Amino acid sequence: MSVKENNKNPAETTVKEKKQLAVKLIPVHIMGKRYEVPEGLTIMKAMEYAGYRFIRGCGCRGGTCGACGTVYRKPGDYKLQVALACQKTVEPDMYVAQIPFFPANRAEYKFTELTSAPEEVFRLYPELFRCVACNACTKACPQGIEVMDAISALKQGNITEAARLSFDCIQCGLCTSRCLGELAQYHMFQLARRIYGARILSRAEHLAEMVKAVEEGEYEEALEKLKGMNEEELKRAYQEREVEPVSAGEDWKPKDKRYL
């Protein structure tokens, strides 16, 4: 995540307005400088409050894109902590640094030529077997993924298990930044999930049925009707649509089954 310090607060908050805020200010150190920011802010919002402006890589701000990998230390603690800046809230006197990009080996391949054989992963990422099972990667994962276990599954040729264990990986690369064997775990996991989804997982029967229905023109009439509506009619149709209840089970279906 790249930032640059701005002389003016992005929110254009004056010093006087800051003093009027009914919040507790706590000291934090960002990129080696000390700032006082409102308690309860995420690291990302605290940086913006301090005057930093994100120019690229700030991502989704929802904890899913992995663009805001952050390392920090707390006073009196020898341990280096990791987090996503959009999720972790600031703590008094914490020292924060961003990792805008961590160089990691990403193998090149033509996916259409790959099979489900474990040897595909071994060939593309031979460094897989440099893993020394130190578990530093797991400790660095902000998603709580058992990274070392997923790597062990790949070493055993179990692509399905590796894909399952790494399902929540957001490609932040923090595991790679702490790896003694210099593995690019997150790239390996992405390959495993792609192979699993395309070569191992059973095909969904309903998907084939839907493709066939589309190809046979079953929805042409409905599409033409939508294309003929004006903006107000489209808004009304959207607002009046049947919405799946939050508590609905997996077998829920709308009363109007014309578009199924």
Please tell me the least confidently modeled range out of 115-119, 229-233, 256-260: 256-260
Long-range Cβ pairs for the range 189-193 (8 Å, 24+): 189/150, 189/162, 189/163, 191/107, 191/109, 191/120, 191/121, 191/124, 191/125, 192/121, 192/150, 192/154, 192/159, 192/162, 192/163, 192/166, 193/163, 193/166, 193/167, 193/169
Q: Would you say how long the chain is, in residues?
A: 260
Do 85 and 1 contact (CB within 8 A), yes or no? yes
Residue 258 is predicted with a pLDDT of 73
* Residue listed under structure tokens 């020292």: 95
Do 27 and 91 contact (CB within 8 A), yes or no? no
Please tell me the least confidently modeled range out of 46-60, 114-128, 144-158, 221-235: 46-60
Residue 204 is predicted with a pLDDT of 86
pLDDT band at 8 (very low <50, low <70, confident <90, very high): low
pLDDT of 191-207, one tens digit each? 999 999 999 999 888 88
Domains of the chain: 2-98 (3.10.20.30), 111-200 (1.10.1060.10)
Average pLDDT over the chain, rounded to whole? Answer: 89
Q: Left, alpha or beta for 90 (phi > 0: left; psi -120 to 50: alpha)? A: beta
